[in-house]
């Protein structure tokens, strides 16, 4: 087999190595363990890394650190580590019951830092290492190799020097200085300033001997003229016609999309994406985003909690806090789904394309779409559908059969509260309407069309519909009328409340749908247990579509009922909308799932539009 460039073997393991010459400033040596003893596997990995390295080398050398900044950084590292050692000594003198054991622990720390500083983070441990020393080495290795540590280094360096644009190579150097500083602090009995000066004069001037770039070379390399591609971007940055902040770009883009009728839920997703992107990458200026940043962002999306963004706490959590929370979760609760990950990359693509269209200089090599992952699950299999029997069981829950109180509506009791939590799931199962479409209804959205009581699902002051196809007139199922739905509507109209279901509005944000989703989750869990694990309010929509298909209802009628776009130009342009009468005929074909409830001895409480202040530990 022909020799593969940059591939070499150390012991039984293959490594990738590349030496980079920066004009006349020196040679930088990059090494990476491929983690395999198989030559064919190593060859494939080596080819991929070599190809990618050509793209990222420019990014690696941008925005390095100067010798003066390195001096400040190293002095701060040593100062903090010395302070830690002094505190440990104080605790040992005052509190320790076994002084010898404490001193032995400090000796292991000294040996661990000395070993890492001399041989590297991933070097094999000393042959005479005991279990405690091995634990120290393993702990330091995990910490120094983590994304959290790299983020902390960038954050602390920015706080110390005011710079937040350090390159990958610059961060590597800062990490190297951190290791050297901590090792010196533990192993030499000199002042912080003496240690700092000694390391800068002796250790860093001979850095090449230890496989790392000298600061003098790095500083000179950073002052060299950048590539023509980056020159053009830098020149354009001085003539940017609009604010290049990703938040400002999203605000301008959303203003246009809002005028085009895009629903607020989608616009909030762009805003949420921008917050998450800046939180994970630290980059707010769209002109500075590179493909490597997009790739790192994608990697981080696979490490954050699956539920990120669903709690108000997430809006202010730092990257460290996000990753720390993820580290405490089981594996199935970490990492965004492929669909969500791809949606974030699509948002990044749209945002940079919008900025580019505004005349903001965007790196032409930035291609977020190329980072999309292939989904291994069919769209139809992602959301489960209720069965008829499951719905019959579900609608025998206390919300329909009698509750303890309106506050504890899922607990069995003697009163029935006909509020939003009572009606919304019934409407979903009888129409297939979306969660936000139901929760955001207003009393004025209950109309009569061709003599048939209907829901009018249109844009309103309370909510926007998903798209143009979602705007529709939807007949009210006769079973809902039999349960007294129209009487409920009359009562709300008398109260002059803007919401048909006031209890389903989020009290702080005013959003519709999320609260209903949480309460529906609670009902499913308490009623169906493990059997309902993959089910949600959206599963009602799947149930309706599947049931209509099994009843041989025409495709175009089904699409008009659920608010889906036509499949071809004929459906989209030339076919008239299905009449309310035909849609009602189709909805009547749905299986009977509203079994009659024995209300003997029950107190039926018509819903009164009021707001109750939550107290205690009741569900939100």
pLDDT in tens, 439-486: 889 999 999 999 999 999 887 666 666 666 678 889 999 999 998 899
Please report the pLDDT score of residue 461 as a whole number. Answer: 61
- pLDDT > 60? residue 192: no
Please report the pLDDT score of residue 145 as a whole number. Answer: 78
Please report the pLDDT score of residue 222 as a whole number. Answer: 36
Give the whole-angstrom CA distance, residue 444 versus residue 497.
10
SS3 21: strand
Please report the pLDDT score of residue 143 as a whole number. Answer: 80
Mean pLDDT of 57-86: 64
- pLDDT > 60? residue 15: yes
pLDDT bracket for residue 185 (50, 70, 90): confident
Q: How large a percentage of the chain has pLDDT more than 70?
A: 70
Please report the pLDDT score of residue 26 as a whole number. Answer: 47
Please report the pLDDT score of residue 51 as a whole number. Answer: 63
pLDDT in tens, 141-154: 878 877 777 778 88
Mean pLDDT of 401-414: 89
Class of domain 384-606: mainly alpha
pLDDT in tens, 91-142: 656 655 666 777 777 788 888 888 888 888 888 888 888 888 888 888 888 7
Please report the pLDDT score of residue 383 as a whole number. Answer: 66
DSSP annotation of 207: G
pLDDT bracket for residue 221 (50, 70, 90): very low
Element (H, E) at 159: helix 147-161
Mean pLDDT of 288-311: 88
Buried residues in 282-315 as b, exposed as e (16+ CB within 10 A): bbbbbbbbbbbbbebbbebbebbbeebbeeeebe
Count of C-beta atoms within a 10 Å radius of residue 255: 11
The residue whose two tokens read 């770039």 is 213
Q: Which residues contact 416 (CB under 8 A, 6 or more apart)?
A: 400, 401, 402, 403, 422, 599, 602, 603, 604, 605
Element (H, E) at 603: strand 603-606
The residue whose two tokens read 């020149």 is 235
- pLDDT > 80? residue 303: yes
Please report the pLDDT score of residue 350 as a whole number. Answer: 93
Please report the pLDDT score of residue 29 as a whole number. Answer: 57
pLDDT in tens, 484-517: 899 999 988 888 788 898 888 877 766 778 889 8
pLDDT in tens, 524-555: 999 999 888 889 999 999 999 999 999 999 98
Please report the pLDDT score of residue 478 as a whole number. Answer: 93
DSSP annotation of 389: H
- Cβ 580 vs Cβ 473: under 8 Å: yes
Give the whole-angstrom CA distance, residue 489 versus residue 483.
12
Q: Which residues contact 63 (CB under 8 A, 6 or more apart)?
A: 163, 165, 166, 167, 170, 222
DSSP annotation of 617: T
- pLDDT > 50? residue 205: no
Please report the pLDDT score of residue 216 as a whole number. Answer: 37
Q: Tell me the pTM.
A: 0.49
- Cβ 449 vs Cβ 455: under 8 Å: no
**Mean pLDDT lowest among 250-254, 317-321, 579-583:** 317-321
Domain boundaries, the chain: 7-61, 67-221, 229-380, 384-606
Q: If you average pLDDT over every residue of the chain, what do you get?
A: 77
Mean pLDDT of 256-273: 83
């Amino acid at each position: 087999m022909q020799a593969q460039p940059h591939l070499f073997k150390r012991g039984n393991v293959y490594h990738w190595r590349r030496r980079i010459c920066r004009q006349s400033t020196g040679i930088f040596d990059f090494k990476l363990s491929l983690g395999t003893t198989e030559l064919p596997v190593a060859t494939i990995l080596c080819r991929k890394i070599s190809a990618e390295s050509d793209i990222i080398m420019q990014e690696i050398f941008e925005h390095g650190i100067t010798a003066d900044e390195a001096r400040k950084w190293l002095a701060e590292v040593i100062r903090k580590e010395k302070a830690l050692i002094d505190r440990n000594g104080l605790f040992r003198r005052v509190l320790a019951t076994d002084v010898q054991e404490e001193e032995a622990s400090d000796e292991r720390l000294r040996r661990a830092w000395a070993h890492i500083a001399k041989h590297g983070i991933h070097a094999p441990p000393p042959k005479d290492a005991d279990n405690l020393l091995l634990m120290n080495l393993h702990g330091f290795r995990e910490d120094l190799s983590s994304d959290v540590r790299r983020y902390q280094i960038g954050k602390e360096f920015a706080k110390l020097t005011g710079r937040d644009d350090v390159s990958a190579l610059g961060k590597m150097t800062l990490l190297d200085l951190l290791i050297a500083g901590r090792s010196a602090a533990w192993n030499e009995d000199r002042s912080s300033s003496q240690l700092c000066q000694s390391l800068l004069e002796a250790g860093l001037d001979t850095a090449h001997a230890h496989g790392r770039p000298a600061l003098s070379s790095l500083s000179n390399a950073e002052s060299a003229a950048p590539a023509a591609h980056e020159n053009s971007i830098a020149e354009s940055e001085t003539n940017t016609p609009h604010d290049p902040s990703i938040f400002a770009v999203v605000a301008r883009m959303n203003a246009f999309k809002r005028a085009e009728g895009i629903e607020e839920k989608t616009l909030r997703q762009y805003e949420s994406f921008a917050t998450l992107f800046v939180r994970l990458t630290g980059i707010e200026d769209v002109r500075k985003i590179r493909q490597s940043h997009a790739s790192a962002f994608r990697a981080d999306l696979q490490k954050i909690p699956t539920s990120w963004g669903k709690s108000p706490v997430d809006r202010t959590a730092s990257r460290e806090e996000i990753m720390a929370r993820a580290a405490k979760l089981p594996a199935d609760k970490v990492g965004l789904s492929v669909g969500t990950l791809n949606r974030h990359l699509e948002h990044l693509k749209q945002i940079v394309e919008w900025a580019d269209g505004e005349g903001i200089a965007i790196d032409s090599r930035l291609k977020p779409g190329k980072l999309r992952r292939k989904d291994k699950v069919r769209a139809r299999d992602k959301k489960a559908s209720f069965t008829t029997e499951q719905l019959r069981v579900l609608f025998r829950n206390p919300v329909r059969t009698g509750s303890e109180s309106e506050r504890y509506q899922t607990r069995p009791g003697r009163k029935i509260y006909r509020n939003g939590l009572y009606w919304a799931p019934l409407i979903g199962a009888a129409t297939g309407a979306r969660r936000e479409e139901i929760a955001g209804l207003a009393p004025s959205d209950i109309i009569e069309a061709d003599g048939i009581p209907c829901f009018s699902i249109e844009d309103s002051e309370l909510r926007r519909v998903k798209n143009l196809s979602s705007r529709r007139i939807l007949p009210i199922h006769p079973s809902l009328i039999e349960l007294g739905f129209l009487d409920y509507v009359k009562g709300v109209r008398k109260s002059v409340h803007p919401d048909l279901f006031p209890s389903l509005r989020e009290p702080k944000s005013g959003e519709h749908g999320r609260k209903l989703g949480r309460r529906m989750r609670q009902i499913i869990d308490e009623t169906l247990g493990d059997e309902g694990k993959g089910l949600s309010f959206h599963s009602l929509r799947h149930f309706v579509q599947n049931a209509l298909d099994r009843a041989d209802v025409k495709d175009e009628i089904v699409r008009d009922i659920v608010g889906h776009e036509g499949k071809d130009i004929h459906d989209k342009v030339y076919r008239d909308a299905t009449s309310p009468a035909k849609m009602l005929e189709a909805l009547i074909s749905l299986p009977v799932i509203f079994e009659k409830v024995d209300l003997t001895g029950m107190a039926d409480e018509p819903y009164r539009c009021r707001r109750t202040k939550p107290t205690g530990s009741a569900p939100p």
